[in-house]
Structure 1
Amino acid sequence: MAPVVYEGAAVVPAHQLVKPVSRDIFPDGLKTTGQHPPLYDQLKPFSEFPQEITGPTVWKAEEYKNNPEKWTHRLTDDEVAELSDAADAFLAGQIPLTGISKGNFPLPKLSAFLAELYKDLVDGKGFILFKGFPVKEWGNHKSAVAYMGLGTYLGYFVSQNSRGHVLGHVKDLGEDAAQIDKVRIYRTNARQYFHADDCDIVGLLCIAKALDGGESDIVSSHSVYNALAKERPDVLETLIQPIWYFDRKGETSVGEEEYIKTSVIYLENGGKGRVYTKWDPYYVRSLTRFSDAGIIPPLSAAQTEALEVLEATCNRLALHMVLDIGDIQFLSNSQVLHARTAYTDYPPPAPRRHLMRLWLATPEHEGGWKLPFWDSDEKKRGGIQVNDTPPVAPLDGE
């Protein structure tokens, strides 16, 4: 394989520099930093990556398949009551949902458990399934408040799209999944291949289930890494090289390019030297409008094979998980990839499959991974931010 030329240090454009924000626009005083290229001089060559990853981030599906007690937490009556009281007090205070924080959503008892969970999500196996969240009893509004309040103990919520949604909705809105250069797949009923979202931790709260399908698969990206290192080191090297273009599907601020050139797998910038995987095949395959025009190179044979081998390895090692109504799944994108099967909704008037989604950021100074991006220590690193679009928290898909 020909050597890759690693580019010089990326320059942070002036509009991306951290600066004070208006609380009239951003009620919690924080703005999502958004998508951007890595700092190329901080990307490491294949020769510097570990031959094998060890530790609690490396797990196999067999460890958990028949042992749900290892990865589920059923909310107790006392925990539900504490969440309910905090949500009622927040609603009574008439604070915008986009202004919710640990400071105005106190959980004096549950917070201790969430602090331990945070460590396991960031440094451990990277996933949990909560059960017993009373969405039917509370309805969408109170459920959203309690869910976002719970999420503030695990990270800072970031915008998930160009419209500023900090409370997202995974729901079939009738968009054409074939138009992958325009449509976000979470707004369709199509299959989602293994991927990581543009955030550190993703949360999914099940409001309504599908008639068929829509089930979840997760995999340790570190187990996948180890398998590739043994079986296909050539594929691993291809994924590590900064030769991949990721589509931004038009969700860009003024002056930004429509795509980002980066790696799929890279090392922390210092810290614990952990291996991070950032991947979504839909965002790679959707760039033919640029490659056909000769603006960027098309996928090489090695890249095409790499994405196919990566997906097959994920499927082989995956843990299957079903979300019932009132379940909340939290995953760390740093060391876990996730997927979803295609689904069919119940016919009307039954509700469509509906998951409320949170994207959460975990900055370096609060234990987050030291990533080779300029915003690695910003509280709301990552996500999608277009210009000064304000955050919004709609209670349903739109």
Structure 2
Amino acid sequence: MAALSQQPPSVPIDIFPDGLKTTGQHPPLYDHIRPFDTFPKHISGPTVWQPEDYSNSPEKWTHRFTPEEIEELSTASDEFLRAKIPMTGISKTNFPLPNLANRLHELRADLLDGKGFILFKGFPVQKWGNHKSAIAYMGLGTYLGYFVSQNSRGHVLGHVKDLGEDPTQIDSVRIYRTNARQFFHADDSDIVGLLCIHRAMEGGESDLVSSHHVYNTLAAERPDVLKTLTEPIWYFDRKGETSKGEDEYIRTSVIYLERGDNPRVYTKWDPYYVRSLTRFSDAGIIPPLSPAQTEALQVLEATCNRLKLHMVLEVGDIQFLANSHVLHARTEYKDHAPPTPRRHLMRLWLATPEHEGGWRLPFWDSNEKKRGGIQVDDQAPVAPLDAE
């Protein structure tokens, strides 16, 4: 097997204060893509769950912050504000959570190696306002992973909000900036966090599914579809968020095996980024989706919908989930009329490098602290307090 490549050496400290740069999107190491006959026939363990395991037992996947935990977050946030450190410089070192740290360490293990999701309740966003809430949220996130850039503008604090963009322009518009339905997908990070600041008038609700349960279902019902998803014949759009000299798309698989012994099954998928490439396939630059791929795309979505767990995020809720073995979606939504605020979620993308217990991914940056994400040239990280 090919060895992992090394990150380009120079990270300018004046642009990236912590000395860590988001590595960004890139093709897999093709030598590490394994043939379908080496994949497991069935997956077992805590990463495989069914909606009925949790739908009537919210205590298994929710944690209400205690007054002591809120006080600890508040104190750390106030001290961070007083120190006048930029928000992009938050780390475990300058955001101490002596008591919550152990709970978050356990949670991180369950996210990476267990069921892959949790819902925190009772985060006082209305009392604290956006600035302090964002600091506390990012500080909390640093105990789960390293925050990475979510777009070409370097946003390490993202905002899921309808900005009136046209969701039909899927070759250029990111769907999180619209009110459209999101199909089941995984984000370009190891863990994604969503903090609810304002709810929609209707819709915008969350669905999750164990991609390992989906895998087992497809292995039993449609092994032909599963085989298609493991082949490196899929092209993913980069929607113009590229550095100089990079291709506008990536050839990849949807379902991989980890590198090394006892590999787990890893899923990396977003149908919008597959469907949006007709500008290249129409020009003959890349092949169009084959009938088998089109069917696989449809069967995968339908299977996720059959096996999903539905979840509603209230104001002050934080959902964290692992992109490695959980796919997520959201329903279309409608906002309240002004002056009532629009639906607003603050988003974190967090990286968990291999040497700190993260998955052994078939990408060159598997050991980098800020692996994945979206990084364009030397765009500096920024943490805006609202969508822009």
TM-score interval (norm. to shorter): over 0.9
> What pairs with 1:91-130 in structure 2 (closer than 5 Å)?
91-130=81-120
Alignment of 1:333-348 (within 5 A): 333-348=323-338
Counterpart Cα distance in 2 of 1:148 and 1:266: 30
Gaps of 5+ in 2: none
Kept after mapping to 1: 8 A contact 2:4/2:364: no
In the TM superposition, what whole-angstrom CA distance separates every residue of 1:274-331 from its partner, at most 9, and x where no partner exists?
Answer: 0000000000000000000000000000000000000000000000000000000000
Q: Is the 8 A contact 1:271 1:370 kept in 2?
A: no
Q: Which residue of 2 aligns with 1:142?
A: 132
How much has 1:19 moved relative to structure 2? 1.7
Corresponding residue for 1:171?
Answer: 161
Write out per-residue CA displacement over residues 82-135 of structure 1, whole angstroms, 9 at most, x where no aligned residue: 000000000000000000000000000000000000100000000000000000
Distance 2:3 2:303 in 1: 33
The answer to whether residue 42 in structure 2 is matched with residue 42 in structure 1 is no
C-alpha distance in 2, partners of 1:91/1:267? 43
Shift of 1:28: 1.6
The amino acid that maps onto 1:261 is R
**Which residue matches 1:133?**
123
Contact 2:69 2:100 in 1 (8 A): yes
| Selected match of 1:292 from 282, 286, 294 | 282
**What is aligned with 1:274?**
264
Contact kept, 8 Å, 1:10 with 1:37, in 2: the verdict is no
Q: Following TM superposition, by how much is the alpha carbon of 1:270 offset from its aligned partner in structure 2, in angstroms?
A: 1.2
1:352 aligns with 2:342: yes
Shift >4 Å, 4+ stretches: 8-12
How far is the alpha carbon of 1:245 from its aligned partner?
Answer: 0.2
TM (normalized to structure 2)? 0.99
Residue of structure 2 in register with 1:60 after alignment: 50
The secondary structure found in structure 2 opposite 1:118 is helix
In 1, the alpha carbon distance for the partners of 2:261 and 2:67 equals 39
Q: State the shift of 1:10 in Å.
A: 10
CA contact (8 A) 2:88 2:383 kept: yes
- The question of 1:206 aligning with 2:163 is answered no
Take 1:367 and 1:175, find their aligned partners in 2: how far apart are those partners? 38
1:1-398 alignment, distance < 5 Å? 17-398=7-388
User: How many angstroms apart in 2 are the aligned matches of 1:44 and 1:178?
Assistant: 35
- Cα distance in 2, alignment partners of residues 9 and 282 from structure 1: 31
- C-alpha distance in 1, partners of 2:312/2:123? 15
> How many Å separate the matches in 2 of 1:350 and 1:51?
51
Aligned length: 388
2: CA distance between counterparts of 1:351 and 1:336?
30
Displacement of 1:140 in angstroms is 0.1
Q: Normalising by the residue count of structure 1, what TM-score does the alignment of the two structures yield?
A: 0.96
CA RMSD of aligned residues (A): 1.2
* Deviation (angstroms), 1:17: 2.9
User: Residue 269 of structure 2 aligns to which amino acid in structure 1?
Assistant: W
Work out the CA distance in 2 between the residues paired with 1:74 and 1:88: 22
Q: Which residue identity does 1:44 align to in structure 2?
A: R
**1:11 deviation in Å?**
9.6
Shift of 1:225: 0.1
Instruction: Provide the rounded CA distance (Å) in 1 between the counterparts of 2:9 and 2:174.
Output: 30
SS in 1 for 2:320: strand
Q: Percent identity?
A: 78
Residue 377 of structure 1 aligns with an amino acid whose one-letter code is N
Q: Which moved more, 1:71-80 or 1:21-30?
A: 21-30
Residue type of the alignment partner of 1:100 = I
Q: Deviations over 1:327-370 (max 9, x none)?
A: 00000000000000000000000100000000000000110000
Q: Secondary structure at the match of 1:104?
A: coil
| Aligned amino acid, residue 46 of structure 1 | F
**Conserved 8 A contact 1:171-1:353:** yes
Deviation of the 1:271 alpha carbon: 5.0
Q: Secondary structure at the match of 1:202?
A: strand
Cα distance change of structure 1 residues 199 and 271 upon mapping to structure 2, 3 Å threshold: farther
Tell me the amino acid that sits aligned with residue 123 of structure 1.
D
Distance 1:45 1:371 in 2: 16
**Could you say which residue in structure 2 is the equivalent of 1:3?**
none
Opposite residue 242 of structure 1, the aligned amino acid is P
AA paired with 1:72? T
SS of structure 1 residue aligned to 2:347: strand
The answer to whether the 8 Å contact 2:4/2:365 transfers is: no
Query: Against the structure 1 CA distance between its residues 10 and 241, is the aligned structure 2 distance closer, same or farther, given a 3 Å change threshold?
Result: farther
